[in-house]
Structure 1
Amino acid sequence: MHSSLRLGIDLGGSKIEILALQGSQERLRRRCPTPQGDYPATLAAICSLVEECERELGMQGSVGIGIPGTRSPDHGRIKNANSTCLIGQDLAGDLEQRLQRPIRLANDADCFALSEASDGAGAGAASVFGVILGTGVGGGIVIHGRLLAGPNAIAGEWGHNPLPWRQPADDRPMRCYCGLDDCIETFLSGTGWAARSGLGLDAGAIALEASQGVPAAQQALARYAEQLARSLASVINVLDPEVIVLGGGLSNIGALYSLVPALLSPHVFSDQVNTRLVPARHGDSSGVRGAAWLWP
């Protein structure tokens, strides 16, 4: 094995991306669609990306993978995945068998947080809360440059707390895939926002219309920003992070960085909110870069 090549893989709900890093230099990047609801096809897709990458570079590397779920510390199988075909599978073991080397797995939001805290938008901060607003809503916590890993491997999973300070304008209760009602994810994920907006558009289209001044879309965005502010305020009250970094598709909505900070104050238990809210520096690449860094 060539020790200086690190392969990071981001296993997303819609795409699988691989990145080859040599030192901190990006050598190669590829992506393919994620096979929907098909575990064997997902395994095959990951393996072929690794093999294709290594063939092209003429060397083998370490493999780290960011997944939309968590590897259970109790039995090693995947839990809490919004790509439900992964749940109960021994993803690391199956890949180790096929690729003939050790594999490191981490939650995609943890990979994202690690990348942004290391040399991204949260570099130099003592505490970083990395947030994914995408197909799902996840989070990762980095304290003094190290990922916080608890005994349940769920640190940062704020998306499965209920929406705080619920209001009549928040819409009807909605069942989350986890089995509970009104998880933050059912409001703030792209699919949740789109479904609750009632506009018949996907999240990207709502954001675009809002930026073009379409009133119904602007209203939907204002409600989203307010729900995001409440949800983050409850995290700030517990964790008090220096920086909150937003990633995932919805983090590209520029208006959030002016709207949300102003909406935090009523819910944060402080006379002033000093927490910085910033977009990811490495954008969509942060998950895949953090996955590569699971091997130091």
Structure 2
Amino acid sequence: MYIGIDLGGTKTEVIALDPAGGEQYRYRVPTPRDDYAATLATICDLILGAERAVGEQGSIGIGIPGTVSRMTGKIKNANSVWLNGRPFRQDLGALLGRPITVANDANCLAISEATDGAGAGEEMVFAVIIGTGCGGGLAVNGRVYAGHNGIAGEWGHNPLPWPDETELQYQREVPCYCGKTGCNETFISGTGFATAYRRLSGASLSGEDIARRALDGDAHAELALRQYEHRLAKALAGVINTVDPRVIVLGGGMSNVDRLYTTLPALLPQWVFGGECDTPVRKARHGDSSGVRGAAWLPRIG
């Protein structure tokens, strides 16, 4: 049995898969924010609960919103900042008394979608998380490509390409949690989308509600969504210009905005070098459970 954990900023989910990928158990709970010890305890409880429910012990893979430093063995780059600088893999392994495999959550999404999802069979899959934060991961021939520093695909903390005057003003006023300004994450995460709408309208709404308002004809919502689409297209064009993946798969809350799959392919050629681009942009087949499925596969193929 393969057990996966998706440690998110707002929820933590566990899944148990059989060797064929059949779901045996799945459960999620709120993530204990800003509390490292409680986060470890929550993960242990979820794993042991899954094993009790299925009646079998499994291998363990965990997706996190950051990565394990090759130099220190500690977590870095997590927007769940209470994980940073912590020996997460070692601490959790000691609590459970067995080895665990840890990878970036976007890499887990890439594995899942490259294994039996929207990128199955493709040589290189670039998987995008556009939710609370903004991450990316690469799967090459069905395996994680994390890179020498463990940050391959971390486009969320590259600057938004080709910013216009509105975007230059935005980046001066909306810093990123990483300490820099102008990061893709501040523009194209679900949080960034909500921030852009609030700056236009003065109202604080979720990304889902804003997208719904755009469908209903709200002018501010429509403008925020059009700005978002252009920003996402520019950011993705930067990835295509660098690694030219066979397919791009979107996950996270903003991936549920269905019009993106029509607008993005039309916008990409404006920004891709040479003015030509037919890279497919697809919605994650496994939805918001794709990352946790990829985490479960980590010990086998990660």
Range class of TM-score, shorter chain? over 0.9
Structure in which a larger fraction of residues adopt helix: 2
Shift of 1:277: 0.7
| Residue of structure 2 in register with 1:61 after alignment | 58
| Residue of structure 2 in register with 1:219 after alignment | 223
Shift of 1:114: 0.7
Aligned counterpart in structure 1 of residue 160 of structure 2, from 159, 163, 167? 163
Report the count of equivalent residues: 292
Alpha carbons 2:265, 2:278 under 8 Å: kept: no
Alpha carbons 2:34, 2:81 under 8 Å: kept: yes
Aligned counterpart in structure 2 of residue 209 of structure 1, from 210, 213, 218? 213
2:142 equivalent to 1:145: yes
2:258 equivalent to 1:262: no
Distance in 2 (CA, whole Å) between partners of 1:117 and 1:56 is 28
Shift of 1:213: 2.1
2:99 equivalent to 1:108: no
Shift of 1:272: 2.0
User: Residues 229-264 of structure 1: CA distance to partner in whole angstroms, max 9, x if unpaired?
Assistant: 011011111111110000001000001111111111
Paired residue type of 1:112: L
| Residue of structure 1 in register with 2:170 after alignment | 172
Structure 1: runs of 5+ lacking an equivalent: none
| Residue of structure 1 in register with 2:114 after alignment | 117
2:287 equivalent to 1:283: yes
Distance in 1 (CA, whole Å) between partners of 2:211 and 2:139 is 30
SS of equivalent residue, structure 2 residue 109 = helix
Distance in 2 (CA, whole Å) between partners of 1:266 and 1:58 is 54
Aligned counterpart in structure 1 of residue 276 of structure 2, from 256, 272, 285? 272
Distance in 2 (CA, whole Å) between partners of 1:10 and 1:17 is 5
Shift of 1:284: 0.7
Paired residue type of 1:284: D
TM-score, normalised with respect to structure 1 = 0.96
- What percent identity do the matched residue pairs reach? 55
Shift of 1:77: 0.4
Distance in 2 (CA, whole Å) between partners of 1:127 and 1:43 is 33
Matches within 5 A, 1:178-257: 178-198=178-198, 199=201, 200-257=204-261
2:41 equivalent to 1:44: yes
Aligned counterpart in structure 2 of residue 85 of structure 1, from 76, 82, 86? 82
Shift of 1:94: 0.8
Distance in 2 (CA, whole Å) between partners of 1:134 and 1:212 is 23
Distance in 2 (CA, whole Å) between partners of 1:103 and 1:120 is 24
Paired residue type of 1:75: T
SS of equivalent residue, structure 2 residue 170 = coil
TM-score, normalised with respect to structure 2 = 0.94
Query: Cα distance 1:76–1:188, how it changes in 2: closer, same or farther (>3 A)?
Result: same
Shift of 1:205: 1.2
Paired residue type of 2:242: V
Structure 2: runs of 5+ lacking an equivalent: none
Distance in 2 (CA, whole Å) between partners of 1:286 and 1:192 is 22
| Residue of structure 1 in register with 2:130 after alignment | 133
Aligned counterpart in structure 1 of residue 15 of structure 2, from 15, 19, 43? 19
User: Residues 67-114 of structure 1: CA distance to partner in whole angstroms, max 9, x if unpaired?
Assistant: 000011111100000000000111111111111110100000000001
